[in-house]
Amino acid sequence: MHGIGDVTAGDDLVELIAAAAPWLADGDVLVVTSKIVSKAEGNLVEVPADGPERDAARAATLAAETARVVARRGPTTIVQTHHGFVMAAAGIDASNVDKTHLVLLPADPDASARSLRAGFRARGLDVAVIISDTMGRAWRNGLTDVALGAAGIPPFRDHRGETDPYGNELQITQMAVIDELSAAGELVKGKVDNVPVAVVRGYLKATATDGPGAAPLLRDAESDMFSLGTAEARAAGLRDAAQLPDTLQHDHPAPPVDPEAVQRALETVATHLSRTTTVTPAEPSATNAVALHLQTRDTTAAGLIRLGADAHRLRAALAAESVTSIPLPHDDGIRLELSGAAE
Amino acid sequence: MHGIGDVTAGDDLVELIAAAAPWLADGDVLVVTSKIVSKAEGNLVEVPADGPERDAARAATLAAETARVVARRGPTTIVQTHHGFVMAAAGIDASNVDKTHLVLLPADPDASARSLRAGFRARGLDVAVIISDTMGRAWRNGLTDVALGAAGIPPFRDHRGETDPYGNELQITQMAVIDELSAAGELVKGKVDNVPVAVVRGYLKATATDGPGAAPLLRDAESDMFSLGTAEARAAGLRDAAQLPDTLQHDHPAPPVDPEAVQRALETVATHLSRTTTVTPAEPSATNAVALHLQTRDTTAAGLIRLGADAHRLRAALAAESVTSIPLPHDDGIRLELSGAAE
């Protein structure tokens, strides 16, 4: 859709879009670039045009938009925003705006989509609205557009419970159709031609309620297998090793220990223990079925200190295999009581 | 595109598609579901229809298709395939095929795309071909279709060096257009209706050479900030702690130490050290400007063992801050010589 021109705070986007596309029809899906929504809603911050002051203002804006840092490498910071989006630089954008402003994401993209849809309804036009933005992703080069907000269109097409022509129940459950529509919209919008709205016709049979918006597309960090960058998670593992608890964190009876996991841990440290350290199975105790005993042939102070470090190495290797260990140092070495991972 | 019907090994896909869509024209982009390409190429494995034998055959197939495991949680295994794709279950699919077969990804999707394109050219038709499949992604619920292979269409639209109407040079560099075209194609294909090909008309102005295919979309693990699942990377960090080297891994002069990083490490372990352990700055040595000294008031064997474990806790915390430490145990405690991270 050409001819929307520059958008500024307070502009009536519905009026601008309707004027540029008098041919809009019921059932059309409007894919609206988030930037013009932010601009119309005045969701910008003023920043110095250049110099270190600009960098500082940008950093402060990023910090304000960040709920948690997901990953950092060189100049790239990937964060989860307060909305829940995982995006480079929190989606803050310095393009298609004058040099003294940064454009933030819309404060509530689903609400913005509902508001635009209501505006079209007030003009007698029953359309669905998707608010889209450009995002990177893990594992694949290049960016694609996805949906930040939506109204009048379900976010997913759900295949659960359906069967294919061979009678197999479909395992693929939910297609993120509003993300796919955003991607399709991007193909026709382009980045430099002032075409901030695309129209998809023929996809939606009928719009009904506003629906759940795009929020269901957000995966919470808890259920995300990639909630942290690899380097960040690795550093967290090192911190876990620094903070291994010395007392039991779970209820008795202790979860059982996988002997293969213990074997893998012993292999992990095999070439990293002092040559004076020996590891042997220890007698079970009343509370723990599996225990290891570490001793040293070097009973000088330095030798005993090395033994303690070796015991902690082994504890870290066990923790990597989800085996919990309780250290019991005594005059003849150190006993590690093992249990499976606490739930 | 309806009417392709069931595809089996040896079928001529070009003939099937051309017969189903006699209206195809030069410049059309054909988005072809990878499954029919695999079937036509015979890239299936035979498996028992049910029982533990089927599970075992599935696991063996997954292992064969896996270059490395990226993440595992419950029944879900995300791997990098030998092609370089990061996909759940290596893209192996049991849907839209009879119960005694599993469909693998095409062996070389770019080659398959080139071959299909050549087939259409031989019929006097100049089209681009994208071979697409459904993938999950980090951070967002729902699946989208992306490109596994391509011919006759550039994988990216590149905005580098362009400026927006405000004179800002565009930072967004490369749009993954063949992924966006795959997503657009999925919207019209559906999953259960035997519609394995979508045609996008009007996007491509002219096809030229086969081009680089979809391979440039693959991000190598080295440059990927999410090359491992969070839990897996965290376990790797614990293993790093188990294997911290005791001797210097980098050349002199040692990289300088960030005092704030040391402070953060001390805070990490603060409540986790024995109450009898003290940490104090130590005199610099000839080779190391920054060193710490750990001592214990408890000079029993058990106390010295605890001191050794505490020293290793601190070493892990320092490593999490990219500070390398060399442990020098002696009769009066343990000295840690610190340096910045090796490159």
pLDDT of residue B2: 60
Neighbours of B277 (CB within 10 A): 22
Would you say residue A1 has pLDDT above 60? no
Query: Both tokens of residue A258?
Result: 């996988």
Q: Is B280 on the interface with A (CB under 8 A)?
A: no
Environment class of residue A276 by beta-carbon count within 10 Å: exposed (0-12), middle (13-18) or buried (19+)? middle
Could you tell me if B161 lies within 8 Å of chain A, comparing CB atoms?
A: no
Task: Examine the pLDDT at B343 and tell me if it is beyond 60.
Answer: no
State the pLDDT confidence band at A3, using cuts at 50, 70 and 90. Answer: low
Which residue's entry shows tokens 């022509």? A165
Read off the pLDDT of residues A184-228 as tens digits, 9 standing for 90 and up: 999 988 655 567 899 999 888 766 799 999 999 999 888 899 999
Partner B, chain A 120-139, Cβ-Cβ below 8 Å:
134, 137-139
Q: What percent of chain A stands above pLDDT 90?
A: 79
Q: Mean pLDDT across the stretch A64-87?
A: 95
- What band does A107 get if pLDDT is binned at 50, 70 and 90? very high
In the structure, what pLDDT confidence band is assigned to residue B275 with cuts at 50, 70 and 90?
very high
- Contact with chain A for residue B15, Cβ under 8 A: no
The pLDDT score that the predictor gives to residue B84 is 96
The pLDDT value recorded for residue B105 is: 98
Across chain B, what does the average pLDDT equal? 92
pLDDT at B325: 95
Tell me the residues of chain B between 245 and 264 that have a Cβ less than 8 Å away from chain A: none
For the record, the structure tokens of B219 come out as: 């991000």
A76's enclosing H/E stretch is: strand A76-81
Q: What are phi and psi of B101, to 5 degrees?
A: -135, 150
Distance between CA atoms of A221 and B229, rounded to whole angstroms?
12
A165 — contact with chain B (CB < 8 Å)?
yes
Range 290-329 of B in CB contact (< 8 A) with A: 299-317, 319-321, 327, 329
Please say if the pLDDT value at position A284 is more than 90.
no
pLDDT of residue B191: 54
pLDDT at A300 over 70: yes
The pLDDT value recorded for residue B283 is: 87
Instruction: Write out the DSSP string of B85-147.
Output: -EEEGGG-B-TTS-TTEEEPPPSSHHHHHHHHHHHHHHTT---EEEEEEEE--SSB-SBEEEE
Looking at every residue in chain A, the average pLDDT score rounds to 92
Whether residue A342 is predicted with pLDDT greater than 80 in this model: the reply is no
Are A235 and B320 a contacting pair at CB < 8 A? yes
Across the interface, of A164, A175, A311, the residue whose CB is closest to B95 is A164
Contacts of B335 (CB under 8 A, 6+ apart): B282, B291, B292, B293, B294, B327, B328, B329
Of the candidates A96, A236, A301, the beta carbon closest to that of B234 is on A236
Higher pLDDT, B255 or B308: B308
CA distances from A331 to A281, A295, B330 (A): 18, 10, 19
pLDDT reading at B110 higher than 80: yes
Average pLDDT estimate for B330-334: 94
Tell whether B4 is within 8 A of chain A (Cβ): no
Grade residue B285 by pLDDT with cuts at 50, 70 and 90. Answer: confident
Give the pLDDT mean for A72-83.
Answer: 94
Give the nearest partner residue to B140 out of A142, A146, A237, using CB atoms: A146
Q: Is B321 exposed, middle or buried (0-12, 13-18, 19+ CB in 10 A)?
A: buried
At B250 the pLDDT is 64
Decide if pLDDT at B37 tops 80.
Answer: yes
The whole-number pLDDT of residue B327 equals 97
Task: Give me B332's structure tokens.
Answer: 């009066």
* Section B249-266 average pLDDT: 86
Report the pLDDT value the prediction gives residue B222, as an integer from 0 to 100.
Answer: 87
Would the pLDDT of A298 be above 60? yes
Which of B164, B44, B157 is CA-nearest to residue B98? B44
